[in-house]
Structure 1
Amino acid sequence: MNGPDQGDKAFPIDRVRARPDDPGRRPARRRHLPSLGSFATFEVAAKHLSFTLAASELNVTQAAISQHIRGLEKALGCKLFLRKHNAIELTSEGETLLEAVTSGLDRLSDAIGQLGRGDENATVTIAGTYAGASHYLKPMADAYRALHPEARFTLLASDENDRLQNFEEVDIAVICGNERSEIGHNIVPLFSEIVDPVCSPGYLARSGPFETPEDLLRAEFMELHRLHWTSEAINWYPLRWSDWFRHHADHLDPPAPGFVTNSYGLLVEAAVAGQGVILGWRHLVQQQVAEGRLVRIFDRPLDSGRTYYLKLKPSAHRKAHAQGFVAFLKEKSRGIPLNG
């Protein structure tokens, strides 16, 4: 920072108004104004009403402060201080200038503090499971950015670490459950956890039709491995084919799955490739269904009784795009029932 005794170079700061009782004076143009250092020195001196204390704060001599103030008064054509014995006071012009300088320097400081933070404020960080991030959040983020290209997203995924939602940089976390979710300002319900039997159109044409649960016994079943559900991040009871049959046809026992994996993404890829039928979580396969790569075999859903929520951190309430994305998700989720 330049000291107050380094001269008065012109600095583009807002104009100083002419005194209303002096028609001969004109407003100063920005290029003719004294340096920013002069105004900063004046503010410090006016704050302390002491050139000595101002010199101490700015780490210069008292003589330099006096010289700087005299130069500023000469440039502005008015007295800013009344010099008294062992004391100084602001003149009316000094009080007017102090108000303007304080406001201007505060605004300048705020603006500097915001420099380089545009991308940070436009970035929304969201935490979820791998399947949720890849099959739900990523397509939704892409659709939102098509409408708001300036928005940025960071997606953090984990099937092992439930504490991911509490990371400082996370604005929004997608969580599932009932007992740990109290709806309010920071917990936004989205939709119920519902699954349907789905497969590719090609598989349905080759192996169908499937009109009843009995017909479905001819299908090649694919399922999530129990390891997927025993992680710290996914610690509730899973939905499996045995649950679906128990709900819709409890007299039938489904055959052993031909393909099992702890990755839901691999299950979806296998189903799209026509390798069998899977339980499709509605929010995770809605894009594939909308594009015709997967089809619901029949209208026999299974509702787990659990609900998916958005957990909002304080940072989400301060970011326009975080709030916009929450509203976007709620709008796009209207096709999935919300029972809880």
Structure 2
Amino acid sequence: MSEFLPSLSALRAFEAAARHLSMTLAAKELHVTPGAVSLQIRDLEAQLGVRLFERKTRALALTVEGADYFATLQTAFRLMREATAAIAARARGSVLNVTCTAGFATYWLVPRLARFEEIHPEIDVRISASHRVLDFKRDGIDLAIRHGLGGYDGLVSERLVDDELVPVCTPRLAAQLGDHPSPDTLAGFQLIHDVYRHDWKLWLEAAGATKVDASRGPIFMHGNGAYEAMKAGLGFALMRRSFLKKELAEGAVVAPFPLGVASRLAFHLVYPGAALERPAVAAFRRWLLSEVKS
């Protein structure tokens, strides 16, 4: 047996009257007569078995029960308005839900996003930073940017960012390396790892370093911990050149060793084939691919 729920029209009448503390203003907002609002509220009070208003001469005040009820209904109506606005906007094609890793969002996507918004101010891009494998339909995702080998079953996968990994550090730490450092110099400094913890081993092998233990150093599994630790001067982190293009150019971050190592892993744009039927999705994909080439 379902629980009792008052009619939506009665709840709207009460919420409007409580917000304005006026039957007249509530009636004006709802395009009905003050008498109709008053009748709806009296019926609601009878159904609930409580008084919601103290009715005084030329004044309206909420009872304790009315104030509690109003606070809850305000939240409920706000959520309904937001849900309605969101689904209406999505139907117009103006909302775009994108999921990507926190690192990609921080270092690559967000710094460039203003350029897309300038070209397409009508599209509301919503970014969800997550490493989870999401269900596009169930989770309402339009596009995903994922780190891996590509080739996701039933989905289109396009390679986006696959540039080289380089060790980076702060200018202050770089000054401690001396005039002609070799990769083996890193044996005297801390290596900082992220979730892709085997990358240091690949880089050291490619650089010919034989005196550096690739397994030592802290591992940051989530978010931008490795980058933040490096910025704090705790050691060297492996980062993609494109992620730190601006910082490297400005000298905020230093890459003392020119060698970069490519990985089979890359960031891929992933989406269901039918997703491009939506103009907003197609526009964002075109922009992403143009940004990669620039």
Smaller-chain TM-score bracket: 0.5 to 0.7
Q: Report Cα offsets for 1:199-227 as digits up to 9, x if no partner.
A: 12232134444642123333332112xxx
Aligned pair in 2 of structure 1 residues 334, 248: CA closer, same or farther (>3 Å)? same
**Deviation readout 1:302-333 (Å, 9 max, x if unpaired):** 11123322112356413333222222222222
Instruction: Give the superposition deviation at 1:264.
Output: 4.8
- Quote the residue 2:165 is aligned against: 195
> Which whole-Å CA distance do the structure 2 matches of 1:157 and 1:164 have between them?
15
The 5 Å alignment of 1:124-139 reads 124-139=96-111
1:120-174 deviations in Å (ceiling 9; x for gaps)? 5222111122222333332232332244333311112222x21355645211111
Note the C-alpha offset of 1:118. Answer: 6.8
Higher mean displacement: 242-251 or 312-321 = 312-321
Contact 1:181 1:187 in 2 (8 A): yes
Residue 172 of structure 1: aligned partner: 143
What corresponds to 1:94 in structure 2?
none
- Of the three residues 213, 238, 251, the one matched with 2:210 is 251
Given that 1:193 and 1:306 are in contact with CA atoms closer than 8 Å, whether structure 2 keeps it comes out as: no
- Within a 5 Å distance, the mapping from 1:1-340 to structure 2 comes to 116-117=88-89, 121-159=93-131, 161-164=132-135, 167-178=138-149, 180-181=151-152, 186-192=156-162, 194-209=164-179, 211-224=181-194, 228=195, 238-249=197-208, 251-254=210-213, 257-314=216-273, 316-334=275-293
Normalising by the residue count of structure 2, what TM-score does the alignment of the two structures yield? 0.59
Distance 1:203 1:147, change over 3 A: farther
Structure 2 SS opposite 1:175: strand
Letter in 2 for 1:303: A
Q: Secondary structure at the match of 1:269?
A: helix
What do the CA deviations read for 1:272-292 (whole angstroms, capped 9, x no partner)? 233321000334434433554
* Distance in 2 of aligned mates of 1:204 and 1:252: 19
The aligned residue for residue 41 of structure 1 is none
- CA positional deviation for 1:250: 5.1
> Taking structure 1 as reference, are residues 154 and 120 closer, same or farther at Cα in structure 2, changes over 3 Å only?
farther
2:27 corresponds to: none
- Provide closer, same or farther for how the CA distance between residues 330 and 170 of structure 1 changes in structure 2, counting only shifts above 3 A: same
Quick one: distance in 1 between partners of 2:126 and 2:111?
13
Distance 1:313 1:168, change over 3 A: farther
With over 3 angstroms needed to count, the CA separation of the structure-2 counterparts of 1:255 and 1:179, relative to structure 1, is: closer
Extract unaligned runs of 5+ from structure 1.
Answer: 1-114, 230-237, 336-340
Residues 120/302 of structure 1: CA separation in 2 closer, same or farther (3 Å cut): farther
Deviations 1:257-279 (A, max 9, x none): 44432135121122223332100
Write the distance in 2 (CA, Å) between the matches of 1:124 and 1:179. Answer: 22
Tell whether the 8 Å contact from 1:271 to 1:294 is kept in structure 2 after alignment: no
Counterpart AA for 2:149:
N
Indicate how the Cα distance of structure 1 residues 314 and 122 shifts in structure 2: closer, same or farther if over 3 A, else same.
farther
State whether residues 150 and 157 of structure 2, in contact with CA within 8 Å, keep that contact through their aligned partners in structure 1: no
Query: Which residue in 1 is equivalent to 2:9?
Result: none
TM-score by length of 1: 0.52
Larger radius of gyration: 1
Question: Do the aligned partners of residues 174 and 317 (structure 1) sit closer, same or farther apart at CA in structure 2, a change above 3 Å counting?
Answer: same
Deviations 1:95-140 (A, max 9, x none): xxxxxxxxxxxxxxxxxxxx94378522211112222233333223
Structure 1 residue matching 2:266: 3-state secondary structure: strand
Long gaps (5+) in structure 2: 1-86
SS at match of 1:304: coil
Aligned residues: 208
Whole-angstrom CA distance in 1 between matches of 2:215 and 2:148 = 28
Identity %: 20
Q: Do 2:184 and 2:210's aligned partners in 1 also have CA atoms closer than 8 Å?
A: no
User: 8 Å contact 1:194–1:281 — kept in the other structure?
Assistant: yes
Letter aligned with residue 146 of structure 2: I
